[in-house]
């Protein structure tokens, strides 16, 4: 048995009962990183000595009869765009290569408090601005399970590492699909929590502007549904540095799921439609009512989300893009700007006004239909770096990603659940729920888990 190939849930149980030491689990993961990461470039900042020291501390605490936390001894990775004390918060940028954090961000602090062992920091595109992962500082990350396809982005390093067994749980961030799409592309699972569920703050950057505050979140990527629950429980502990943080809520819900194969006219690949239909039929066989009601606007939410997202770049970001001079980031920023012209004060205020209306419509929808099954993307995962091959290619990517871009505008949580694969591509469904109902998404993941093939760590060629 290679401990590095076990799920976080299985590892935590073995370590807690002292059938396996945290040091043994960490050494196995570091050995797998040695073997596989050079071909993947998923982890771009290693910390072997710190990881082994932390693991020895977990073993000592267990020997004293103490409880080191629910993730005690479990190797995890952290994305390079959040602060970790003593490490550079590069966000894939040469201009931030010496930006050393002096304190842990809330997600990192929560992982440590839960007993997790951070074995490395994972790659992201420059500025975390793509659904593909390459930058001029750290280079490109590759997909371990589906060679030639994008590993996704911006948490492409996290998804690649988790899919390959270079950590049982990967930390990711998501403002427009950056957890959900990499999980899809690499054939694993990923949870985007809703607004306020996981505390956030980067002291190296200070407070974000309102778009980032309302839409950007941290969440887990994993190879099992149970690990997503374990990861969210660890990440979501309160932290007074985040004024948006809210506690979990849970209440009974009717077993009713809406199905949207082509939301707002999305051109959905037939294989994705089939995967969604099969998932709906599985739920129906388990006693759920399935319907296809009309949806609140999704395309309008996407357009307004891009307005808030790109407004940040108008205040210093555009200059940073120019100074970084990363070819991918420059191209993507230019093409994205075509979809969201610089806002005026009135248009920006109107966007926030519309957010209240759209959030209300979606909340009313979820009152009748607690969950929505919809595509993660309208298309199967793209060939690597397809987005920067031409303006037309980029436009086609944006159109396909509408189901990822829209939900964050309302602060909604979303789950990518990998349900199967074709000969060349993974197949996943996205499950959306009302703000604060991550519990419902995780319940469905648990319910569907026995009906789908387990995700085993990929061995890249």
The answer to whether the beta carbons of residues 142 and 166 sit under 8 Å apart is no
C-alpha 26/C-alpha 48 separation (Å) is 9
The answer to whether the beta carbons of residues 14 and 6 sit under 8 Å apart is yes
Active site (catalytic) residues: 79, 154, 178
**What token pair was written down for 52?**
């082994």
**What token pair was written down for 331?**
């191209």
The answer to whether the beta carbons of residues 304 and 409 sit under 8 Å apart is yes
The answer to whether the beta carbons of residues 189 and 455 sit under 8 Å apart is yes
- Alpha-carbon dihedral sign for residues 434, 435, 441, 442: negative
**DSSP H or E stretch at residue 282:** helix 270-285
Helix locations, 313-424, DSSP H: 318-324, 327-339, 345-368, 391-400, 402-405
Q: String of b and e for 26-57 (b: at least 16 CB within 10 Å)?
A: bbbbbebbeebbeebbbbbbebeeebbebbeb
Per DSSP, 137 falls in state T
Q: Which residues are bridge partners to 429 per DSSP?
A: 417
Our CA dihedral for 153, 158, 163, 164, rounded to 10 degrees, sits at 120
Chain length of the chain: 461
The 217-222 sheet, strands edge to edge: 43-46, 117-122, 75-79, 169-174, 217-222, 189-192, 414-421, 426-433, 371-374, 256-259, 289-291
The answer to whether the beta carbons of residues 410 and 385 sit under 8 Å apart is no
**DSSP H or E stretch at residue 374:** strand 371-374
- Alpha-carbon dihedral sign for residues 327, 333, 337, 339: positive
Angle between helices 8-16 and 48-63 (to 10 degrees): 50
C-alpha 373/C-alpha 279 separation (Å) is 8
Within 10 A of 459 (CB to CB), how many other CB atoms are there?
Answer: 13
**What token pair was written down for 39?**
């071909």
**DSSP H or E stretch at residue 107:** helix 106-113
C-alpha 379/C-alpha 413 separation (Å) is 21
What values do phi and psi take at 244, rounded to 5? -90, -10
């Amino acid at each position: 048995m290679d401990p590095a190939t076990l799920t976080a849930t299985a590892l935590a149980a073995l370590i807690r009962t002292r059938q396996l030491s945290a040091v043994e689990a960490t050494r196995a993961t570091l050995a797998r990183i040695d073997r596989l990461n050079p071909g993947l470039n998923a982890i771009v900042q290693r910390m072997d000595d710190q990881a082994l020291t932390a693991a020895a501390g977990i073993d000592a605490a267990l020997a004293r009869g103490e409880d080191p936390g629910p993730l005690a001894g479990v190797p995890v990775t952290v994305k390079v765009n959040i602060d970790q004390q003593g490490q550079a918060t590069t966000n894939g940028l040469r201009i931030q290569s010496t930006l050393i954090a002096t304190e842990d961000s809330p997600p990192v602090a929560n992982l440590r408090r839960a007993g997790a062992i951070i074995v490395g920091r994972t790659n992201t595109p420059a500025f975390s601005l793509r659904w593909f992962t390459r930058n001029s500082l750290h280079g490109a990350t590759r997909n371990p399970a589906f060679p030639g396809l994008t590993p996704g982005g911006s948490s492409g390093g996290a998804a690649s590492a988790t899919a390959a067994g270079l950590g049982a749980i990967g930390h990711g961030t998501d403002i427009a699909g950056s957890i959900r799409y990499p999980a899809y592309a690499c054939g694993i699972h990923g949870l985007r929590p809703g607004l306020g569920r996981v505390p956030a703050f980067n002291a190296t950057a200070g407070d974000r502007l309102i778009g980032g505050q309302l839409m950007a979140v941290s969440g887990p990527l994993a190879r099992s549904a149970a690990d997503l629950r374990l990861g969210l429980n660890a990440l979501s502990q309160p932290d007074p540095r985040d004024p948006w943080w809210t506690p979990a809520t849970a209440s009974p819900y009717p077993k009713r799921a809406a199905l949207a194969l082509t939301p707002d006219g999305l051109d959905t690949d037939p294989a994705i439609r089939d995967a969604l239909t099969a998932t709906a039929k599985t739920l129906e066989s388990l006693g759920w009512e399935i319907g296809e009601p009309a949806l609140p606007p999704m395309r309008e939410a996407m357009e307004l989300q891009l307005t808030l997202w790109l407004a940040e770049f108008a205040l210093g970001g555009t200059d940073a893009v120019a100074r970084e001079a990363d070819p991918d980031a420059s191209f993507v920023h230019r093409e994205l700007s075509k979809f969201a012209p610089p806002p005026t004060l009135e248009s920006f205020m109107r966007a926030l006004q519309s957010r209240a209306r759209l959030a209300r419509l979606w909340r009313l929808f979820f009152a009748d239909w607690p969950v929505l099954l919809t595509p993660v993307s309208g298309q199967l995962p793209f060939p690597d770096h397809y987005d920067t091959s031409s303006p037309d290619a980029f436009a086609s990517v944006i159109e396909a990603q509408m189901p990822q871009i829209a939900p964050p505008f309302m602060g909604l949580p979303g789950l990518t659940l990998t349900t199967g694969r074709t000969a060349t591509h993974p197949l996943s469904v996205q499950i959306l729920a009302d703000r604060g109902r991550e519990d419902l998404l995780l319940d469905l993941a648990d319910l569907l888990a026995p009906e789908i093939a387990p995700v085993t760590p990929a061995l890249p060629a």
